[in-house]
Amino acid sequence: MKRLDRLTTTELSAWVQQAKTKAEYGKVIDRIPQLAKAYPSWFAVHICCKSGKTISFGDIACVFPLMSVIKTFSLLYLLEHLGAETVFGWVGVEPSDAPFNSLEQLVSDRGRPRNPMINSGAITLSDKLPGKDANQRTLLFCQWLNQLADCQLSLDQVMLASVRLTRSTANEAIANYLAEAGYLENLEIALDTYEQICCISGRVEDLALLGKLLACENNRLSARNRQIVNAVMLTCGLYEASAEFAVRVGLPMKSGIGGGLVAIVPGEGAIACYSPALDNIGNPVGAIAFVEALAQELQLSVFG
């Protein structure tokens, strides 16, 4: 019997309480006004197992923007549509020890984005999504995800307006540098697409369904592309803390400043959490604490 399948709601609730205590050390992001409205005490978890069993606990009705969690799936989308050789002509797979929005890293790498999980890589891939403009690209991408995972994601227009109102100067600088280095075809469409896909929103269940696609063999995705995405998540998904959590947790994970986190348990299922209080790197404190406790208790690390 699979390990995730054995979980009970009682066990989950105990781990959630521990995680919520840890989340008190985090802080909800205040740079984007709409994100700042989240309560730091919110916590939700949804687990999708290969067997079809699901288990959830906490504030599961909360809807949140995927923000950087979407980077995992824009990578997957382009791998499926264009192939690895093309995609990795645009971005690398090297981990970065600089913050996710670092221009210095990009400059030292001469304009080639180090990986798809940091902003330079994700903006570059946003430039390559199918569709004539940002609206069409976002719509096509969102429809693809919903059809693929049977989830119910949608673009949060209120969140998008808030993101546009406080457009990140770091992202503008990154996009300008990428354009100068020849990595972007259309700077404005690339940035607009990036902002829109980050505001694709859903519940913790939707995120777990997306994760399950990466965790379990299916006839909807190439096995090789799933492997690639999981590997990049493991080495790059939590920014400069990725290596530390590869050791401590040993699961491919991706976080977002909206408080979302998805963890992949290959062959078994996916764990999705929502916990809006972040650490100083931009990772959700409670969500990571929860997955770490679960992974250690159930010995889920991919490294045996």
Give residue 170's identity as a one-letter amino acid code: A
How many C-beta atoms lie closer than 10 Å to residue 165's C-beta? 10
How many angstroms separate the CA atoms of 141 and 129, rounded? 8
Task: Give the model confidence (pLDDT) of 175-213 as tens digits.
Answer: 999 999 999 999 999 999 999 999 999 999 999 999 999
At residue 185, what are phi and psi to the nearest 5 degrees? -85, -35
Task: Answer whether residue 261 shows pLDDT above 50.
Answer: yes
CB atoms under 10 Å from CB of 62, counted, come to 17
Which residues are CB-contacts of 169 (< 8 A; sequence separation ≥ 6)?
none
Query: What does the pLDDT look like over 3-51, one tens digit per residue?
Result: 888 888 888 999 999 999 999 999 999 999 999 999 999 999 999 999 9
Per residue in 95-153, pLDDT (tens digit) is 999 999 999 999 999 999 999 999 999 999 999 999 999 999 999 999 999 999 999 99
**Residue 269 identity (one-letter amino acid):** G
Residue 21 and residue 255: Cα distance in Å, rounded? 19
Q: What confidence score (pLDDT) does residue 2 get?
A: 54
